[in-house]
Structure 1
Amino acid sequence: MATTWRERLGRLRVDLSPWRGSRDFRILVTSGTIFYLGQMTAYVALPYQLYQLTGSNFAVGVMGLVMIVPLVVFGLYGGALADHLDRRKMLIATGVAQGLITAILLGNTLLDDPQVWLIYACAALTAVASSLQRPSRDALFPRVVRHDQMHAAVTLNSLTFQVAQLAGPALGGLLVSTVGVTWAFAVDLGGLTIATLMYVALKPYPSNEHSSPPSLSAIGEGIRYAFRRRDLLGTYAIDMVGMFLAMPIVLFPAFATEVLQEPKLLGLLYSAESIGALLATLTSGWAARVHHHGRAVVIATIVWGGSVGLAGLAPNIWIAIAFFAVAGGADMISGLFRAVIWNQTIPDEMRGRLAGIEMLSYSLGPLGGQARSGLVADLTTVRTSIVSGGILCVAGVVLTAAWLRDFWHYDARTDEHAVRERTLRNEP
């Protein structure tokens, strides 16, 4: 019996084979973690500095608005560039650009009168650079690991990012409250510099011979490809429905202070989803034995919505934190299987453009969801907004899955696109 339990527990462990087997995978994951740790440090410092200069919550909110258009436009264009240029060179060039922008932000903090307009301009430029970079990075993963290792590769990448997501804001908060925002931007600049130097160590990854030059026509080709494939459309639609209808983070301050009357534990509400996601990642070895990825995404997103709704009904903050942790774990599982579908089925010559579309799908849903949650809370109550969002999420996901039946029936063993990519890469 002991052996049986050990075997079962062993199946839950994270598979380290991509880390052991691919030098460039190690570089991508390590550099990405360092990069993201610095970014999350600045994520705290930038709005903090802006609020200190203006005293306005609206001024802080405007920073998100100035980033939306660059995100949409350059996310799509960055995907087209990723399909036509050497992806290693794209990572290096955009890393240098982000380093220069962060250096400007750091310099602004040293002025006697820091300029608010410069913060907005740098936020927009950062959105441009990151939107150009992300598709190239995401498009590299299928080329640095074996096809059958994609589950493990996605899990390991997610795990390191979650560690950075937990540690970065904590470090940023500590720095701005003790030594000031200048040091937070210095940490971000150091992380960008180290990550970019690591990108230099990657081997070249020239474009596929069938790739199209970056143009509106090439972007349109990628969008048409995504919408023709209902399995891909399902990954975008399910996630956007789930995030738009059940994204309560903007309500956390009011929920903790006014509803649950535990303002000192507000930070735990923000951390709950990340902790749940980390635990789900550490025990996700079972995912490699799941072949109906569409069903996994649908079920996980339903669990996300249901958990958010139940958190809204919680009589105390500890029960709310528990449900938000479950929601974070479910969101991680959904993201894992969506990423595996993308990386195992999209041809290399389209991978960059589709990565740009993916970036928009998981960015715009939460932005719209925050607005929806805030509006409903103002019209009704905070609890009503959270609970109704969870109920609408479950109903919306069920209806979307019924509409996209091909997504529900997706099977990685028999799907024509997965089989083709497996065959092209000479794997059984």
Structure 2
Amino acid sequence: MATLSSKVSALWPRFAEALFVKDFRRFMLAMFFFTGALHIGGTAQGWLVFDLTGSSFALGVIQSLFSTMIFLFSPLGGVLADRVDRKVVVLLTWAGAGLIVGVLALLILTDRIQMWHLLAASVAQGLVFSFNITSRFALVSQMVRDGVLKNAMVLVALTFNLNGLLFPLIGGLLIDLTGVGGAYLAITALYGMAVLLVTRVPQQGVFPREDRTSLLKEFVVGVRYLKGQPALLGLMGMALAAVALGQPYAVLLPELAARTLKVPASGLGLLYAMVGLGGMFGNLVLAGLSSGVRLGRLVVSMSVAAGLGLACLAVTNSLLVGVIVLFSLGFLGLPAFTILESLLQRHTPPEMRGRIMSLYMMVWGLFPVGVLLSSALADAVGLWLPLLIDGLGLAAVSLAVMRLFPGLLHLTSREDPVLTRPPLT
């Protein structure tokens, strides 16, 4: 009978197979610092905006400007990711993001920061990230073979989740000890480390092309390809529900911490950290699943459960209950995005992945619809109503997408020749 150690030894390669790829290992080290910057940034920005304005709606506006830029420019970013070396795009956009944060740090430390500075920075960051995200996704799929793509995506998500546990706590402590300016300096330094490390990743080259059609025509080809794939449309529908209904709660956490739970900045960091901790454990479980598991069915179930958990957050004023619910939301919600992203890439031809992932990021660009409505309701009525509506709505819409696109339920991480047919011309 197999011993526990032999079972662990057999399971370990399934968790870390992508790390045997040298370029991917180097990229993951850079990702550690990049995602650390993102997580401290989320905590610091939320605390700063709520401190300046006392309004969840103001934070919602900032997040909406960021997402609107992603919605508008992700198509261009996706086409660019299929035309030029993706590593170069990632390098330049990370450097740009670090420069923007550095300017904000200087304004905060000199006590000149104003709301319009944060609004302008949100627009600039959204523009930068609209090019970064699609290239970053596509770069991962280019560095590893398709057979370990799910594993690579899970490892990227685990890095994000691990830092989602560590860095919000660090960010909250930095704010309490040094002020929000110190936190922004730390973010700038993390971006700098990420840029230095990603220079060690070799350029991956571009896919050969017989012609050079216009950017618009290439984007239209991507849209036509997606329209011909009902299962992929189902994945996009699930992503839309998760973004518009399952994510606005994150914008409301500063108000939840300050007004409902009455905790300091370190308490807000704890709330964000619980989401990251749950996501880390959820993605660890996901990494150990076999390739034959029906991930499409799993992502629907996780989204429904996350919606019900979000509704529970609406009716509590207990820190302990809030921590438990947020851990559950991370455990269910963050791996769901990992599944969506890996399935979209696994069932899309390599030369199309930049464009398909840009369409996925356009879904994220619809985040303002949910966040503005939720934050406005929170200011007008209270936190409980948007949390309840978003939670029940997420569960209901997920079930509706399942009924409209039943092929979604049969998707696995294995290749399906029907889904990976040549792109439409």
**Which TM-score band (shorter chain)?**
0.7 to 0.9
Asked if structure 1 preserves the Cα contact closer than 8 Å seen for 2:69 and 2:130, the reply is yes
Compute the TM-score of the two structures, normalised by the length of structure 2: 0.85
1:175-209 Cα deviation digits (max 9, x unpaired)? 23322333323222222222222222222222212
- Structure 1 pair 306/62, CA: closer, same or farther in 2 (3 Å)? closer
CA distance, structure 1, for counterparts of residue 240 and residue 29 of structure 2? 29
The code of the aligned residue for 1:231 comes to A
- Structure 1 pair 233/200, CA: closer, same or farther in 2 (3 Å)? same
Q: Which residue of 2 aligns with 1:234?
A: 234
The code of the aligned residue for 2:225 comes to Y
Mean CA deviation greater in 277-286 or 344-353: 277-286
The code of the aligned residue for 1:307 comes to G
1:102-155 Cα deviation digits (max 9, x unpaired)? 332233234463454333322211211121111111101112112211222111
Q: CA deviation at 1:328?
A: 1.8
CA distance, structure 1, for counterparts of residue 86 and residue 9 of structure 2? 38
1:220-247 Cα deviation digits (max 9, x unpaired)? 2222222321222111101222443344
Compute the TM-score of the two structures, normalised by the length of structure 1: 0.84
Q: Which residue of 2 aligns with 1:75?
A: 74
- Structure 1 pair 5/312, CA: closer, same or farther in 2 (3 Å)? farther
Mean CA deviation greater in 216-225 or 400-409: 216-225
CA distance, structure 2, for counterparts of residue 383 and residue 55 of structure 1? 18
Mean CA deviation greater in 37-46 or 85-94: 37-46
The code of the aligned residue for 1:238 comes to M
Check if 1:409 corresponds to 2:410. Answer: yes
Q: CA deviation at 1:346?
A: 1.5
Q: Deviation above 6 Å: which 4+ runs of structure 1?
A: 256-259, 378-381, 418-421
1:356-396 Cα deviation digits (max 9, x unpaired)? 2222324534x433344445567776445434433332222
1:384-411 Cα deviation digits (max 9, x unpaired)? 5434433332222111111112212335
CA distance, structure 2, for counterparts of residue 187 and residue 48 of structure 1? 15
Identity in percent: 24
- Secondary structure of the residue aligned to 1:205 is coil
Q: What pairs with 1:39-58 in structure 2 (closer than 5 Å)?
A: 39-50=38-49
CA distance, structure 1, for counterparts of residue 70 and residue 398 of structure 2? 26
Asked if structure 2 preserves the Cα contact closer than 8 Å seen for 1:84 and 1:212, the reply is no
Mean CA deviation greater in 129-138 or 181-190: 181-190
CA distance, structure 2, for counterparts of residue 193 and residue 301 of structure 1? 36
Asked if structure 1 preserves the Cα contact closer than 8 Å seen for 2:299 and 2:339, the reply is yes
Asked if structure 2 preserves the Cα contact closer than 8 Å seen for 1:295 and 1:409, the reply is yes
Check if 1:273 corresponds to 2:275. Answer: yes
CA distance, structure 2, for counterparts of residue 255 and residue 9 of structure 1? 43
Q: Which residue of 2 aligns with 1:424?
A: none
CA distance, structure 2, for counterparts of residue 138 and residue 93 of structure 1? 15
The code of the aligned residue for 1:404 comes to F
Q: CA deviation at 1:317?
A: 4.7
Structure 1 alignment gaps of length 5 or more = 422-428
1:46-101 Cα deviation digits (max 9, x unpaired)? 45445556666654443223323321122221111111111122122222322332
Q: Which residue of 2 aligns with 1:426?
A: none
CA distance, structure 2, for counterparts of residue 282 and residue 412 of structure 1? 16
RMSD value over aligned CA atoms? 3.3
Q: Which residue of 2 aligns with 1:290?
A: 292
Asked if structure 2 preserves the Cα contact closer than 8 Å seen for 1:151 and 1:288, the reply is no
The code of the aligned residue for 1:344 comes to R
